[in-house]
Structure 1
Amino acid sequence: MAAQNFDVIVIGAGPGGYVAAIRASQLGLKVAIVEREHMGGICLNWGCIPTKAMLRSSEIFHLMHRAKEFGLSADNIGYDLDAVVKRSRGVAKQLNSGVGHLMKKNKITVFMGEATLPAQGKVSVKTEKGTEDLTAKNIILATGARARELPGLEADGKRVWTYKHALVPPHMPKKLLVIGSGAIGIEFASFYNTLGADTTVVEVMDRILPVEDAEISAFAKKSFEKQGMKIMAKAMVKKLDRKADKVTAHIEVGGKVETMDFDTVISAVGIVANTENLGLEALGAKIDRSFVVTDDHCRTGVEGLFVIGDATNGPWLAHKASHEGVMVAEIIAGKKVHPVKPESIPGCTYCHPQVASVGLTEAKAKERGHEVRVGRFPFIGNGKAIALGDPEGMIKTIFDAKTGELLGAHMIGPEVTEMIQGYVVGKQLETTEEDLMHTVFPHPTISEAMHEAVLDAYDRVIHI
């Protein structure tokens, strides 16, 4: 059988790959996409989306317990974990079939199977029916990543879980250990803790949420501890002794090793890119600790081979992958593009309270030689937050003292994952403090706290 020829072949149909395929098709290119498992990739099936559905359930459960504060009554409050999981899987399924529909609508040829790159411009796909040979001048690799497993801490799906097991749990944890306090670890800790699990988080760095601004990390720690979580920073899980009904963790903290018993462990210690067994090395692509090395236009140095999303440089976020997918499709179509700047990519963590940020932390800004002006505003000074019964949190803004450039914004509190976009747009438009001060924010909204945090940086804050 002759090889099928395309203008672009995309490998991986997650938020990077399927978006790249749609944009390439919109630009008039003939596109194929190869996916070995699920349309929509991890994000949609086993990551961003189903976790948000589960966190929404725990958020409502938390609010039901507070009914009395709002003049309401709710008796015999409980939950059915299987039903919570079923709703979450239903949400993922709806979006998964939506991606399939988008492929059809955009006339993209879909191959379900495992891809390899036998030579430059060639893709071989092992499908249920046999092997398909495809050729294209341009190949976009969007194979994503999987959970990193540390030796001795590997998941078994019974007592030791990765994020996948945590999304379809075989039991409700009573005493839970979460290893790693990045976004994934903290979101699961927040979910299970809210549903009543006695939760301990172990983080090897000196604070939780280590990529966030130090003040936000400290606020989050206080908040989680108030909710009953135990936080162990500068600590390391050395080994796990597994029994049928429990796991004994050996945790090194302050030079001493202590043992603690748990019935469930979730390991969330980072990711490994899915880049092996594709034939990348033979083509001449450089790989550094599983990630393919690319320039800021996602080029690999191999003619016609681009890598986007979690298979290449961080931050490893779905929206960054999608943006890169669009950029690469436009490069292939001969358009002029701007590379994606890491400091303009927002990060969101959907724990309770929510955390969101964009740009430089205060420490990073100073490290880069900026003289800074910093503004802060607590939600306790915001009318809408008080009316919502959710006044816990703060917003922090960082400006260059000389130019007034917005360098970074960091938030913890109600709906901050939706609000961060205001500062993201501001950064994209190269906003100064003056532009933000002259912007009229609607009242009463929690977004007014964003305005006040800017005013505070210039000693003009009104409501504190």
Structure 2
Amino acid sequence: MKYNLVVVGSGPGGLKAATRAASSGLKTALIEKADIGGTCLNWGCIPTKMYLGATASSPLLHTQEKAKTASGSLSFNLPTLMQKKDRFIKGTRSAAEKQLGSLGVDILNGTASFSNPTTLTVTNDEGSTEVAFDKLIIATGSMPTAFPGLEPDGDCVLNSSHVLTLTEAPESLIIVGAGAIGLEMGDFFSRLGTKITIVEALPSLAPTEDPDVGETFRKILKREKWGIRTGEKVQSLKTVNGEAVLTFESGETLTADKALMAAGRKPASESLNPAAAGIECIGAGWIATDDNLLAAENIYAIGDINGRTLLAHAADHQACYAVDHAAGKITAAYDSGPMPACIYGHTDVMRVGPNTADLQKAGHTVETSTSMLVANPIAQSYGSTQGFVKALWVDNKVHGIVAVGHGVSHLVAAATIIVKQQWTQDDVHSIIWAHPTLDEALEMALLAPRKPA
């Protein structure tokens, strides 16, 4: 079989690439070794947000109880929630498959491996098939990884996929890694009554974000009775006598019913045999790409696998570029523009563009202007006033925006536009900011006095 374009991997980037290519009239095949939708749909973005959405009323009620404006209790049925999640995912997969079929995309189930620079071998339980291509897009994504001695065993030590199969909330949960996965899953299970202890080797929670974000998280989570251990390295994490036992390098131990290993991901490139196509890999197997996302002649690598940005929407954006470049519609180098990113939960994080450290490393003099959510009427109405919105300025233009607090992920689209257009303070007055809204916290951050970062 030969195709104009073959896509390997059916996560957000792969699905977007296949549908865009077929819609452009290219004879297209999509190769997937597991479930359509990849990690994002089946084990990542979508199921975690369904869990957070279904239980969002719990922290809101707790906030009002503390303010003595309401009282009551909530209980959640985790098995039923899991069934709802599974039905939604199954339905979404089915809809994606129908769309691909209607566009004439051939879905090939199996593991793809390069035979040479223009041919793949696709292997499944029924045997092997040779697939030739004119152009190819690798979109195989990434998978959970762990450091030696911290490997999940599926018993009491779990990875981010295992934890979504729990039908009963553990009484206690140790989370190793205070990034998006750790904070979101901790938030969810704490709503079910689980005692959370979060462990991070770096000094701050949410360590890739602005240090003020991490400090805000620390204050909020301490009030919510989380155990917080930062700046401490873990030596081992094992199941011992039906419990998860974590041992620090200092020798101190922690025990819990379950532990979640939420630190680190690795590229899903091992089975591809990239060397046979002349593809260079970096580090653990991240595929090197040029300015046009090309890993080799006529072979593109998009999304997590190229190691640029491990976000679903980054893969989606790169997919559009790769297909259009392969079709000869564009020739310019790939430019993502300012990258938006969020962490979700009762306390959200939103960031667009580089952070302060990135800008300073690039040689820029950075100023910041900040508004505190305590001054915002919507934050006040929800009783969730901890947090802030901060603008990062270089030469009187906005180069980045960061926020932490309840609901701030809803500011991400406006923030992306502002950073992409590099607003000046005068631009703030070019639109009407609706009142009362959380958006006004963004407006006030842009108008606030600046100070050196």
TM class, shorter-chain normalised?
A: over 0.9
Equivalent of residue 387 in structure 1, options 360, 363, 381: 381
In terms of mean alpha carbon deviation, does 333-342 or 383-392 score higher? 333-342
Among candidates 432, 436, 441, match of residue 440 of structure 1: 432
Amino acid at match of 1:353: T
TM-score, length-scaled by structure 1:
0.92
| Matched letter for residue 33 of structure 1 | L
Aligned equivalents of 2:68, 2:231: Cα separation in 1: 40
* 1:5 Cα deviation from its structure 2 partner: 1.4
Distance 1:447 1:87 in 2: 32
**Matching residue of 1:223:** 220
Partner of 2:312: 318
Residue 291 (str. 1) matches residue 286 (str. 2): yes
- What letter corresponds to residue 419 of structure 1 in structure 2? L
Q: Aligned match of 2:362 in 365, 368, 374? A: 368
Q: Which amino acid aligns with 2:228?
A: I
- 242-251 or 106-115: which moved more? 242-251
Distance 2:334 2:225 in 1: 39
Distance change >3 Å, CA 339–CA 416, structure 1 → 2? farther
Query: Residue in 2 aligned with 1:454?
Result: 446
With over 3 angstroms needed to count, the CA separation of the structure-2 counterparts of 1:240 and 1:427, relative to structure 1, is: closer
Residues 280 and 441 (structure 1), Cα distance of their counterparts in 2 relative to 1, 3 Å cut? same
Which letter does structure 2 place at the counterpart of 1:182? G
**Structure-1 separation of matches of 2:278 and 2:353:** 34
| 2:136 corresponds to | 139
Matches within 5 A, 1:395-414: 395-400=389-394, 402=395, 404-414=396-406
* Contact 1:294-1:313 within 8 A present in 2 as well: no
Offset, 1:174: 1.4
Q: Deviations over 1:79-125 (max 9, x none)?
A: 22212222222222222222112212322111111111111111221
Q: How far apart in 2 are the matches of 1:84 and 1:52?
A: 12
User: What amino acid does structure 2 have at the position aligned with 1:431?
Assistant: W
Seen in structure 2, the aligned counterparts of structure 1 residues 74 and 412 have a Cα distance that, compared at 3 Å, is same
Q: Residues 226, 118 of structure 1: CA spacing in aligned structure 2 closer, same or farther, 3 A cutoff?
A: same
**Unaligned segments of structure 1, at least 5 residues:** 460-464
Q: Is the 8 A contact 2:401 2:419 kept in 1?
A: no
Cα separation, 1, equivalents of 2:52 and 2:131: 41
Give the residue type in structure 2 aligned to 1:385: A
Question: Counterpart in 2 of 1:177?
Answer: 174
Whether the aligned pair in 2 keeps the contact of 1:53 and 1:91 (CA below 8 Å) is no
| Shift of residue 342, structure 1, vs aligned partner | 5.8
1:76-91 counterparts in 2 under 5 A?
Answer: 77-91=74-88
Instruction: Quote how far apart the aligned CAs of 1:390 are.
Output: 2.7
TM-score, length-scaled by structure 2 = 0.94
Q: Which moved more, 1:62-71 or 1:50-59?
A: 62-71
* 2:51 aligned residue: 54
Q: Per-residue deviation at 1:128?
A: 4.2
Alignment partner, residue 304 of structure 1:
298
SS in 2 for 1:356: strand
Asked if 1 retains the 8 angstrom alpha-carbon contact of 2:5 and 2:27, the reply is yes
For each residue in 1:135-170, what CA deviation from the matched residue of structure 2 results, as whole angstroms up to 9, or x when unmatched?
Answer: 111111111111012222111111000001111115
Per-residue deviation, 1:429: 2.9
Q: CA RMSD, aligned part only?
A: 1.9
Of 206, 210, 217, the residue aligned with 2:207 is: 210
Alpha-carbon contact 1:315-1:342 (below 8 Å) kept: no
Q: Distance in 2 between matches of 1:96 and 1:436?
A: 42
Whether 2:33 is the aligned partner of 1:36: answer yes
Alignment-mate amino acid for residue 327 of structure 1: Y
Deviation of residue 357 (structure 1)? 0.2
What SS does the aligned partner of 2:30 have? strand
Q: Is the 8 A contact 1:398 1:457 kept in 2?
A: no
What residue in structure 2 maps to residue 270 of structure 1?
A: 264
What secondary structure is seen at the aligned counterpart in 2 of 1:344? coil
* 2:91 match: 94
Question: Secondary structure in 1 aligned to 2:134?
Answer: strand
TM-aligned CA distance change 1:60 to 1:288, over 3 Å: same
- Say whether 1:347 aligns with 2:341: yes
How far did residue 71 of structure 1 move? 5.6
Stretch moving more, 444-453 or 147-156: 147-156
Q: Deviations over 1:337-380 (max 9, x none)?
A: 55554661111111320111011222322232222221111111
User: How far does the alpha carbon of each residue in 1:377-401 deviate from its partner, in whole angstroms, 9 at most, with x for none?
Assistant: 111111122123332221000111x
Other-structure match for 1:429: 421
Match of 2:242 in 1: 245
Deviations 1:252-302 (A, max 9, x none): 3xxx331111111100111111101212012221111221111232111x2
